[in-house]
Amino acid sequence: MKAAIIGGGVIGGGWAARFLLNGWDVAVFDPDPQAARKIGEVLANARSALPQLSDTGLPPEGRLVFAGSIAEAVTGADYVQESVSEQLALKHRVLAQVQAACDAPIGSSTSGFKPSELQAGAARPGRIFVAHPFNPVYLLPLVEIVASPASTEAEITQVQDILRGIGMFPLHVRKEIDAHIGDRLLEALWREALWLVHDEVATTEEIDEVIRMGFGLRWAQMGLFETYRIAGGEAGMRHFMAQFGPALAWPWSKLTDTPPFTAELVERIASQSDAQSGHHSIRDLERIRDDNLVAFLRSLKDRDWGAGRVLNDHDRLLAAQQEQLKATKDVADDTQMVVLPSWIDYNGHMTESRYLFAGSQAVDDFLARIGAGLDYVKAGHSYYTAETHLRHLAEARLGDRLSVRVQILSHDAKRLHLWMTVARDGTEVATLEQMLLHVDMASGKPCPAAPEVLAAVAERAARDAGLPRPEAAGRHVGQRKQAAA
């Protein structure tokens, strides 16, 4: 699959990273001579952050090219994302050039224009949408999809499916409106914040502290209306509205007006912002932001809530794609995983417990393939680990992609003797040798496995018999490698 990115600024670079790290080939067109450097820096941040959100491992990275023209970039593209400056005449020229060279759906990153405005004069207006993301595009899942009546339901669905495939949450905004939904809400808060600075009620830092120490934490996982539903107590939203509704008539808000946008106000805000954050470079702030977002999103993912559910859905999609690839291309059934922040110890290396976790995940996958997965366990039988020998051969660090291969060394009706190799880019990082006992869970005693499971084990063992027996198999702790005679 190929994505074409027209405009390589902060948003365009984020789109390029999101597609590229999800296995798409990406062609970028941007006449800025610094485009390659700027996108390279965005990619460096994305490569550090995005893989930490996937428990299955992202697909192999696609190929990135910088095209010399719009036509070159979009030729053969399956999807096009336009992210040029917010100038309608410029967007019209760009969209016309795109449609002259391809028939792919085109998403526009516009923050404010309606799709009907973008589609004016277009050869195929129904193929042009608003696809408005939020920065950083490679981490935040929301993208607002806005279409005009010129687009069919099938075209809207096609765009949503493409964006879900790269781990995004495409929200269909059903009515055209200036600035869509997200930016209208942000604009309301922004206007109030400008008034607070203008009237010298608060500094930029104090306003940011109110958001990040207070309601911002609630919004991150519950939004606005669900938060206020809780604020209504057991009576819920109706009570909240009855209690606080009258405040809407009080002079709390200046949303219908904006402060005079003077040079003095600009200087006040800029100087306060410098005092607040000027000791960090923009790239430093981006990395701090990304690290914090990863931690928030991982927490939501563990709870399968909000944006975390989107990440879990994407993991399930990636896992299904990996299984399909194995089935159609005879790819080895290794278990794939990525070294996550919680897996790292004080030395900056993958911690010992996570090597055991990696082996456990691989064995679970193996057991599912031989018919001894969760359904088998629910029926009252399971394989229990009796003994494990772990060897550390190299260091795994944050973000490393690992694969774990399981090999049957020996077996009988009640036992499985397994060898697992944990590898990074073909280099052995660790090995685990494990003995499993088949157990009747009601009695807690070993017993023969079901005939169909034993048959699957025998078939797999016959395949593994062609592999060389690991040299360290059967080695006890501390045993040195024997010198050749």
| pLDDT band per the 50, 70, 90 thresholds, residue 483 | low
45 inside domain = yes
What pLDDT, on a 0 to 100 scale, did the predictor assign at position 117? 97
**Same-domain pairing of 173 and 290:** no
* Domains contained in the chain, number: 3
Per residue in 275-311, pLDDT (tens digit) is 988 898 888 889 889 888 988 998 999 889 899 999 9
Q: What pLDDT score does 210 carry?
A: 94
Q: Could you tell me which residues are annotated as the binding site?
A: 7-12
The reply to whether 148 and 272 lie within a common domain is no
Q: Rounded distance, CA 335 to CA 361, Å?
A: 7
Q: Are residues 166 and 281 in the same domain?
A: no
- Computed over every residue of the chain, the mean pLDDT equals 91
pLDDT bracket for residue 332 (50, 70, 90): low
Q: What is the pLDDT of residues 419-470, one digit of tens each?
A: 999 999 889 999 999 999 999 999 999 999 999 999 999 999 999 999 999 9
- Look at residue 298 and tell me if it is in a domain: yes
Task: Band the pLDDT of 249: cuts 50, 70, 90.
Answer: confident
Residue written as token pair 């067109």: 29
> Do the bridges between strand 381-392 and strand 415-424 make them parallel or antiparallel, or are there none, so unpaired?
unpaired
CATH number, domain containing residue 351: 3.10.129.10
Would residue 479 count as lying in a domain? no
CATH classification at residue 90? 3.40.50.720
Residue 22 sits in the same domain as residue 148: yes
Q: Does the pLDDT of residue 163 top 80, yes or no?
A: yes
pLDDT of amino acid 469: 93
Residue list, annotated binding site for NAD(+): 7-12
Q: For residue 159, give Cα distances in angstroms to 145, 155, 282, 287, 397.
A: 8, 6, 32, 30, 36
Whether residue 35 is found in the same domain as residue 63: yes
Residue range 25-63, pLDDT digits in tens = 999 999 999 999 999 999 999 998 998 888 877 888 999
Residues 201, 165, single domain; the answer is no
Q: Is residue 423 part of a domain?
A: yes
Domain boundary among 116, 151, 182: 182
pLDDT of amino acid 328? 65
Q: Report the CATH number that the domain containing residue 221 is assigned in CATH.
A: 1.10.1040.10
pTM: 0.77
Same domain, 292 and 366: no
Q: Is residue 480 part of a domain?
A: no
Asked if the structure places residue 101 within a domain, the reply is yes
For residue 485, the model assigns a pLDDT of: 45
In single-letter form, the type of residue at position 394 comes to A
At 482 the pLDDT is 62
The verdict on 130 and 45 lying in the same domain is yes
Share of the chain above pLDDT 70, in %: 97
Q: Are residues 223 and 281 in the same domain?
A: yes
Residue 166 DSSP one-character state: T
Q: Which one has a higher pLDDT value, 164 or 269?
A: 164
Give pLDDT, residue 234.
86
Phi, psi of 128 (to 5 degrees): -110, 130
| Least confident among 169-178, 306-315, 327-336, 439-448 | 327-336
Judge if 171 and 61 occupy the same domain: yes
More confident residue, 108 or 250: 108
Which contacts of 350-356 are long-range, i.e. CB under 8 A and separated by 24 or more positions?
Answer: 350/395, 350/396, 350/397, 350/400, 350/429, 352/390, 352/392, 355/390, 355/392, 355/422, 355/430, 355/432, 356/388, 356/390, 356/432
pLDDT tens across 87-126, in order?
999 999 999 999 999 999 999 999 999 999 999 999 999 9
Q: Rounded distance, CA 149 to CA 172, Å?
A: 13
In which domain, by residue range, is 270 found? 190-302
Most confident of 74-83, 241-250, 310-319, 322-331: 74-83
Please indicate, yes or no, whether residues 212 and 147 belong to a single structural domain of this protein. no
Residue 478 lies in a domain: no
pLDDT for 327 equals 67
User: How much is the pLDDT for 20?
Assistant: 97
Euclidean distance between CA atoms 159 and 107, whole angstroms: 8
Domain end residue (candidates: 182, 215, 230): 182
3-state secondary structure of 128: strand
**pLDDT grade for 245, boundaries at 50, 70 and 90:** confident
Give the containing element (helix H, strand E) for 445: strand 445-446
Q: Within this chain, do residues 256 and 362 fall inside the same structural domain, yes or no?
A: no
Helix axes 263-277, 182-198, angle to 10 degrees: 100
Query: pLDDT at residue 265 above 80?
Result: yes
335-388 pLDDT per residue, tens: 888 888 778 888 889 999 999 999 999 999 999 999 999 899 999 999 999 999
pLDDT higher than 50, residue 260: yes
